[in-house]
Structures are given as C-alpha cells and as structure tokens.
Chain A
C-alpha cells in the first residue's frame, strides 16, 4: 500500500562530518492507511543496488530519538503516525556511495487482523 511514496523524494543525505560521513539517512512514510505502534514494524529492510544493508546498521526516528530495530520491537509507547515522514538512518562509513544507485525499502508490518505479515516495497533511483 502506498508503495511508491514510501521513500520520500529528495531526502537522501549523508550523516556525520561532511568530509568523512559515517552513514546516510532518508525520510520514509509508513505504507498503511493508519498509524502503527513501532513494536509492530517488524523489519525495515534496506538495500543498495539489491545488496542488503545489515539490520544492525539501521535506526529509526519518528521524532522521539533514533532507535534500532531490536529496540523497536518493545517500544510499546511509540507510534509511526499515518502519512508522517520518519527518518531512517543507516550506519555506513563513507556515507551513501557516489553516483546513481537503486535504494530499496521494504517494510514488514504485523497487522493484528491479518493472518499474515504485510509487506510494502519501494525502489527509487537516487544519487547524492
């Protein structure tokens, strides 16, 4: 749902010192017609040119401070509101690779009324 809107256009940036970035970040929306507690966002799978980023390198921040995927699983008092962009941070020495690349985001959501997980996928060609 809302697949093509998940990665927010024009938000990709490096993080850390300008001359020695320690990672990159981009804004993303939740692919669902309502907001959801962070504990039910099971995975944020990120890949660059179809090469998966290690999940321990990924952090999420809806405005309450960066949190890793493992910690999200028990963040019962935090929510990702409908339609609101959150920041996804990826630790990667050197930042986002130079040139044009495909950035992919897959969200795996635990929706209580569905018997199976819900997946949303976006792929965008980006460059810094």
Chain B
C-alpha cells in the first residue's frame, strides 16, 4: 500500500443489504477482504442487535469474524441520545456516562478509534479524556458537512486537544466536506420527485459556481416560484460545501481515521462529486497513514427506482483509491 494509507470499509456502506437481510455481517467482512479492504468500521447500534448489552461470547464472535477474514476493527461509531426523554435533555453526567459505556465497549472490542458525532459538546469530551486515555481510544469528532476543518465549532476541539496535550482527542474527517460537484444521483432523485429540468440545472450550475446557498435558495423559492422538490433540492446546498483540500494537511496530527463518504461511483471508477483526486495527494504528502474507510451513502438516493448494489459501488471506490494512491505516491517520489 502506497504512502502508508490503508483501505477499509464502514459497515454503514452495506446498510441497504443489512437492512433487507440480503447480507450478513460476515458477508460484508468477507466482501471487504476480497477487495483488499481489511479495516472494518462498525456502528454497534446498527450491527449489534442486543446493543448496548454485549456479553463476552458476542465480543469473541466479532473478533473471530475479523480473524477468519484477515480483517481488523478500525473504528467504533458512537451515538448519543441526548433526547432520550421527551421532557428534558440528558444531563451532562448522563452524557458522560453514555459515552463512557461506548468507550468500554470499544476497549473490549479492541478498537482504538471512536467516531464522535459532531454535535457532542467539547466540554463533555473534556471530561471523557481520562477514560479515553486509559482505554487507548482516540475520540475523533466527525468533521461532517456543512462543518469543515476550520469551522469555529471544529476548532474548539482542536484547541481543547492542544490545551490538554492529549493524543486521545481530535478529529475524524468525513470526505463529504469536499463536494466539488453536485451529486448526479441527488439531482436525479429530485427530478423524479418533480423538480423541473431547467430549475435542477440552475441549482447545479449555482453549486458549480460556488455561489452561497442562500442566494440560490431565494432565487428558486421566491423568484422562480419553485415547487417543493425544487426548494428541497436548493436547500441541500446548505449542506454541500467544497472546502479547500489543501487545508486538510495542517490537521493531520489530529486525525487517525477518515470516513470516505460517497454517493455514487461511475463504472469507470470516478467519483463525479467529491474531490478525492485533490485530497488523497495532500494526505500522502503529509505522511498520513490511517484508514480510508468507505462510507457509501448512495442507497437512499436510488432505492426508490433501482436495486441497490452497495458492493459494486464500494468496489469501484476502492479501484479509485488504488489508482490515486499509486499515482500520488509516484508524483511525490518524482
């Protein structure tokens, strides 16, 4: 593997097949191994039906599945139900206890990275740092669109990690922040829901020109008297930033794992939307050596009209990774 970057897959990618029962967890792991993606990211609340209760036998079975296929568990995606109750939010103590439960499970599974939902408050995470250090788990706050590496909310975690001098708190970038082009599968879905072709093209053109979302939303909703599908499509621009790939290198000390989000891969192995061809060279140049963990999120955009084939989509993304990792490392050497 070039540049020290490793290829992996999040079980999130197979949500369609896992939901419908077409594939089992072990099928997913076997598929990952078959394409050389031996790092498995999991969502216990998706993949473990008895969550949060796991006995040692279940833990052993997870480890055995990985061993059978030559894979390792790379990252634990946590959730936090601050709205568990309808009458009040979780108290700070309850939030800390919930994440501590996850850190314990992470340690029992032998996982060293935890994806922290971006909405979790830095002061809650500060209280958890001693536990994370003890469990040797890196808590990475998910840098998810429309946040980006230098958003003020994200920088609070960076500043906190610096102040504490800890190596167990930082970031976990989601590649959705590098949306250079509007995803064709999004556009197609909105057109099926009633968006007119010329209005959809206008929205795509506005995104391509990187015009601030609010201008486009106003144009579509008010001046063009957009229908509901058109307004919803325009509103997706609020969550579709193309942040600067060159900035990611500065934050390499703060992340060990990447969620390689994507919505669609073309048959010839091109991501028509996210700028992997610009991001991967930066990661290699910066000497980053974690897992690029596939996160296929296209199923929800096409499942109304076609059978979802998550394996084929992930396979194509990994072909792209192999190509970009090879090209970029050659470029670096040259």
| B-binding residues in A (CB < 8 A) | 1-5, 29, 33-35, 37, 39-40, 42, 73-74, 76, 79, 81-84, 110-113
Contact = CB atoms under 8 A, between A and B. Distances in A.
A67 B20 CA distance: 25
9 pairs of A and B residues whose beta carbons are closest in the complex:
A34-B45, A34-B46, A81-B49, A83-B19, A112-B83, A112-B82, A82-B46, A113-B119, A33-B15
Interface in B65-98: 79-86
Contacts of A84: 49
A82 B79 CA distance: 14
Contacts of A76: 84-85
Interface of B: 12, 15, 18-21, 43, 45-47, 49-51, 79-86, 117-119, 300, 303-304
From B19, B85, B86, name the one whose CB has the most chain A CB atoms within 10 angstroms. Answer: B19
Nearest to A76: B84
Contacts of B19: 2, 5, 29, 33, 82-83
A37 B84 contact: yes
24 contacts: A2-B300, A2-B303, A4-B303, A33-B19, A33-B43, A34-B43, A34-B45, A34-B79, A35-B49, A35-B51, A37-B81, A40-B81, A40-B84, A73-B86, A76-B84, A79-B51, A81-B51, A82-B49, A83-B20, A111-B83, A112-B81, A112-B83, A113-B118, A113-B119
* Interface class of chain B by DSSP: loop
From A1, A76, A83, name the one whose CB has the most chain B CB atoms within 10 angstroms. Answer: A83
Given A33-B43, A82-B47, 11 more contacts: A2-B303, A3-B304, A33-B15, A76-B84, A76-B85, A82-B45, A83-B20, A84-B49, A112-B80, A112-B83, A113-B118
Contacts of B15: 33
Nearest to B20: A5
A110 B86 contact: yes
Contacts of A39: 84-86
Nearest to B52: A79
B46 A113 contact: no
A40 B15 CA distance: 21
From A2, A4, A82, name the one whose CB has the most chain B CB atoms within 10 angstroms. Answer: A82
B289 to A, nearest CB: 29
A42 B45 CA distance: 19
Nearest to A85: B21
A7 to B, nearest CB: 14
B21 A40 contact: no
B313 to A, nearest CB: 16
A83 B86 contact: no
From A3, A73, A113, name the one whose CB has the most chain B CB atoms within 10 angstroms. Answer: A113
Contact of B21 (A4, A79, A83): A83
A37 B45 CA distance: 10
B85 A35 contact: no
Nearest to A2: B19
Nearest to B118: A113
B23 to A, nearest CB: 11
From A29, A37, A42, name the one whose CB has the most chain B CB atoms within 10 angstroms. Answer: A37
A42 B51 CA distance: 21
A35 B49 CA distance: 8
